[in-house]
Chain A
């Protein structure tokens, strides 16, 4: 069993772990109570899933065909940079458009700062 077969199986195993993480993230998207916790489940663990599967694809092509794909590295960097930004933007838009928190949340520290000082509301 030489080194390229080991790297190939490592890539395939990373792809499998990425699939399992995607299903866990989707279950979190279904079960959590409001949009802010759902955004936590959808953004962070789904980014981990896509990074694992893209790294597995990169390792597989490197092991089997000696092909280092620059486009795949670019995709990894792009997803890693933009997924937290989009999660932050949609959560900020949800809070500023008065989407309710869940019933079990205990503290809303931003409400007095953001909404009571506006005069034209």
Chain B
């Protein structure tokens, strides 16, 4: 019973990732793709947690923190790139 419910939840997270992947491919503008990428990261966190419940191990719980931090940093960097067209500001010698 528990395994059936957890398998259904994992396939629902997979379905959400596939729908967000459609938005990445067909997105009209650059911020649409960044929003969909952030949502894929969040769903990946949930998928890792449910997968850790399925295998009944504690070994994957660090992956949640790492993926969360990487998704946040990458969203900040991409939004800065969308706004200012570069990420690392360099001094111009003029």
Residues of A within 8 A of B (CB): 8-9, 11-13, 15-16, 18-20, 22-23, 25-27, 29-30, 35, 38-39, 42-43, 46-47, 49-50, 53-54, 56-57, 60-61, 64-65, 67, 69, 71-72, 74-75, 78-79, 82-83, 85-87, 89-94, 96-97, 99
| Distance (whole angstroms) from the CB of B8 to the closest CB of chain A | 7
- Asked whether B6 lies within 8 Å of A78 as measured between CB atoms, the reply is no
Interface centre among A9, A22, A89 (most CB of B within 10 A): A22
Do the beta carbons of A8 and B42 come within 8 Å of each other? no
Which of A16, A94, A96 sits near B9, CB closer than 8 Å?
Answer: A16
Apart from A15-B9, A49-B46, what are 10 other A-B pairs with CB-CB below 8 Å? A12-B6, A18-B9, A19-B9, A22-B13, A22-B16, A29-B20, A30-B22, A75-B68, A78-B72, A79-B42
Nearest CB of A to B89, in Å: 16
Q: How large is the interface on B (under 10, 10 to 19, 20 to 34, 35 or more residues)?
A: 35 or more
Q: How many A-B residue pairs have CB under 8 A?
A: 166
Q: Kindly state whether residue B69 has any CB partner on chain A within 8 Å.
A: yes
Contact A93 B46 (CB under 8 A): no
Q: Within the assembled complex, what's the spacing in Å between the Cα atoms of A43 and B72?
A: 12
How many Å lie between the Cα of A99 and that of B78 in the bound state? 15
Quick check: A35 and B72 within 8 Å, CB to CB? Answer: no
Q: Which residues of A contact B52 (CB under 8 A)?
A: 57
What are 14 pairs between A and B in contact, CB < 8 Å?
A16-B9, A19-B9, A23-B16, A26-B16, A29-B19, A38-B35, A49-B46, A75-B45, A89-B76, A90-B31, A90-B78, A90-B82, A93-B31, A94-B82
Identify whether the interface residues of B are mostly helix, strand, loop, or mixed. Answer: helix
B65 partner residues in chain A, CB cutoff 8 A: 71, 74-75, 78
Min Cβ gap A36→B in Å is: 9
| Chain B residues engaging chain A, CB cutoff 8 angstroms | 2, 5-6, 8-10, 12-13, 15-17, 19-20, 22-23, 29-32, 34-36, 38-39, 42-43, 45-46, 49-50, 52-53, 56, 58, 61-62, 64-65, 68-69, 71-72, 75-76, 78-80, 82-83
